[in-house]
Chains A and B, each alone.
Chain A
Amino acid sequence: DAKTTQPNSMESNEEEPVHLPCNHSTISGTDYIHWYRQLPSQGPEYVIHGLTSNVNNRMASLAIAEDRKSSTLILHRATLRDAAVYYCIPGWGNTPLVFGKGTRLSVIA
């Protein structure tokens, strides 16, 4: 499994963009990069995933470095509901996920 490095915590002001980085320098060529988040007292929820190209969906954008050794999850306008632990997980989505410690995002009103 590819090892990931994420900041332990980050803070953002409400309605500001947030860039959550992840380093996955040992990622294999076929691994996707998944992002999940876990809101307080809930199970994790899928946010986005990508392979090589940048991806956008209604929740977020994913920017993937050209060498695929790092990626950044972008929340365009943070809301209080986005306060959660964000996990970056290389691998296949339909095999067991290996969760690291993630980044705890705090959003300040």
Chain B
Amino acid sequence: EVQLVESGGGLVKPGGSLRLSCAASGFTFSAYSMNWVRQAPGKRLEWVAGISGVSTYIYYADSLRGRFTISRDNAKSSLYLQMDSLRVEDTAVYFCARAWPADLWGQGTQVTVSS
């Protein structure tokens, strides 16, 4: 089955770190660019970061560069998002999404930053 499954979300204190994972299956993972998109409660979707198929190109939303790091392991068909120095405003559901336009999305993982 073609799918993306995120994991790694949870509750973390401000200033803390989390590493999100996205496991892909059912397609040739290395052939696709991948992205992280987040959605804060009641807010619009927000693109976070993207990475090309073999990690040649990596892009971040300007407001997140320096705190978040996107990476991938094609041998494991997995996408990652390392999130450091987390802030309350990073609270959101984080989705991984395949390519642009994103034709495949995971179910999302909740990240809550709160003291």
A and B bind: no
Which residues of chain A have a CB within 8 Å of any CB of chain B?
none
